[in-house]
Amino acid sequence: MTPYDLAELLRNLLALPGESELVEFKEANESFDFDKLGKYFSALSNEANLRNVEQAWLAFGISNKQQVVGTTFRADPLKLQSLTKEIADQASNRLTFRGIHEVNCEGKRVILFEIPPATLGQPTSWKGHYYGRDGESLGPLNTDERHRIERQSQPVVDFERAIAFANASTSHILELLDWQEYFKLFDYPTPVDAQAIIARFLQGKVVAREQGMFHITNMGAVLFARDLKQFARLEHKGLRIIIYNGSGRTNGGREQTGRLGYAVGFIKALTWLNERLPSREEITATRREEVPTYPVKAIRELVANALIHQDFTTAGSSPMVEVFDNRIEVTNPGAPLINVLQFLNHTPISRNEDIADIMKALDFCESRGSGIDRIVEECEKHFLPAPDFIRGDNSTQAILYAPKPLRDMSSRDKVRACYQHACLKFANGEAMSNQSFRERMGIAEKNYPMASRIISDALEAGLIKPYDPDNKSKKNARYVPVLG
């Protein structure tokens, strides 16, 4: 509001017949009890909701007879504005003043506290207690009025658009979100001021604006938080990485739990993980070379998938990477939305579309529907056992296996590799043959019957079918996955 607007507003308030459920005048000559200020905030906020108005007003420097007397309450502007945070810290939903305005009237200082209505369905409390007004009087919010607010229907909002931190001031936003990294990741020009940062955040749905107040969205916090533990509902969602000694969980080794938002911390987490993964020596025509045991691209995709596709409503659990001597297990909260056998050839479905879009835009993962294909392709390229995808009661798990000779693979391992190879070929517009499967598994041509037996087992399991049922020649037979 401009000084003219504020002066006009004050004149209108002074012209009222008296105090009401929506307007309170206080002299507050030098000081005012902070706890009582909070109670008035709760009461006026609830009354504004019940009367369906945009705001209520508390004025300091005005007598009960509506005479301007002036106030020196918190004369330091910084201390005055700090009330925004102080009230938010004790009010429900971190609701706070929409504005604290200083007005010069007749040479005297008046403070106008602009108070927003209670959030739909959620009465505003102060230190856990609800307050209301009966005319000019302050008192507990009566039960009927509290229930009226609680019964208000709220629009259905998906997780990403829901609020992680309500009624955030500009300073809150800049402190809680890594705006520097945000601008760097998207290659945006350096912002000229805080308003330019907020504008970008609003455009990117990192921050939402409602009734003049800013709110940090879940998506904004999940991706760009400086510290996820600063957000009550997200504090346990950091990526957890555990490096075990051996093939079981009894000998725990190093562990790290991320606190950064996924976008700002993704590369750091991958770097930490990859630096601790085993490597093997590979001899080329000219030199010996250390190569990672597990394909870097496959790990990157699996970790990104776990972050993106998790069910954030599952309380107390987080995405997790567990590294054993013979495998890597990547687990995320939430059962898969489709059959795990359809991961390679199904139209992509995501719980968190906006998060997925941003992670893709930042090149942290493959485009929609090609991520699992890339993982399988990388395992084939490095002659690793086929990755496994497992549906838990309320989790999804992917397993990458260390190199293993064919003779040490179980029948299930071999059939899974056959099925995934057929899926990958199908995704590329081709069909699997005995030869292509032999090449994938590193089986010599003279041992083609070995490949044939595995293909036969996959046929019997109902995972693949002949590409041309009328072709009677096994030598030239080709196969496609059974979909659906």
H helix intervals, 327-447: 353-361, 371-381, 411-427, 434-441
Same domain, 65 and 181: no
pLDDT of 344 reads 84
Same domain, 393 and 249: yes
pLDDT of 153 reads 76
pLDDT surpasses 90 at 214: no
Same domain, 137 and 279: no
Same domain, 320 and 279: yes
The pLDDT tens digits for 63-98 are 989 999 999 999 999 999 999 999 999 999 899 998
Residue that is last in its domain, among 150, 169, 204: 150
What are the contacts of 455-459 at 24+ separation with CB within 8 A?
455/418, 455/479, 457/411, 457/414, 457/415, 457/418, 458/415, 458/418, 458/419, 458/422
* Separation between Cα atoms, residue 26 and residue 30, nearest integer Å: 11
The pLDDT tens digits for 359-387 are 999 999 876 657 889 999 999 999 999 99
Same domain, 345 and 241: yes
Tell me the mean pLDDT in the region 455-466: 95
**pLDDT band at residue 412 under the 50/70/90 scheme:** very high
Ramachandran bin of 364, using left for φ above 0, alpha for ψ from -120 to 50, beta for the remaining angles: alpha
Residue that is last in its domain, among 362, 380, 404: 404
* Measured CA angle at 44 (ends 42, 50), to 5 deg: 105
| CATH code for the domain of 273 | 3.30.565.60
Structure tokens at 365: 């993962």
Same domain, 276 and 361: yes
pLDDT surpasses 90 at 349: no
| CATH code for the domain of 415 | 1.10.10
Task: Scan for tokens 């725990």, then name that residue.
Answer: 252
pLDDT of 284 reads 67
Residue from 442, 423, 327, 307 nearest 372 by CA: 423
Same domain, 389 and 251: yes
Same domain, 141 and 169: no
Kindly tell me the sign of the dihedral angle through the C-alpha atoms of 293, 410, 458, 434: positive
Q: Domain total for the chain?
A: 4
The pLDDT tens digits for 237-263 are 999 999 999 999 888 789 999 999 999
Task: Scan for tokens 């003279």, then name that residue.
Answer: 446
Mean pLDDT of the chain: 92
Same domain, 219 and 193: yes
**pLDDT band at residue 303 under the 50/70/90 scheme:** very high
Residue that is last in its domain, among 228, 262, 281: 228
Same domain, 245 and 347: yes
Same domain, 335 and 473: no
| CATH code for the domain of 120 | 3.30.950.30
Same domain, 181 and 269: no
CB of 451 within 8 A of CB of 434? Answer: yes
Boundaries of domain holding 21:
3-150
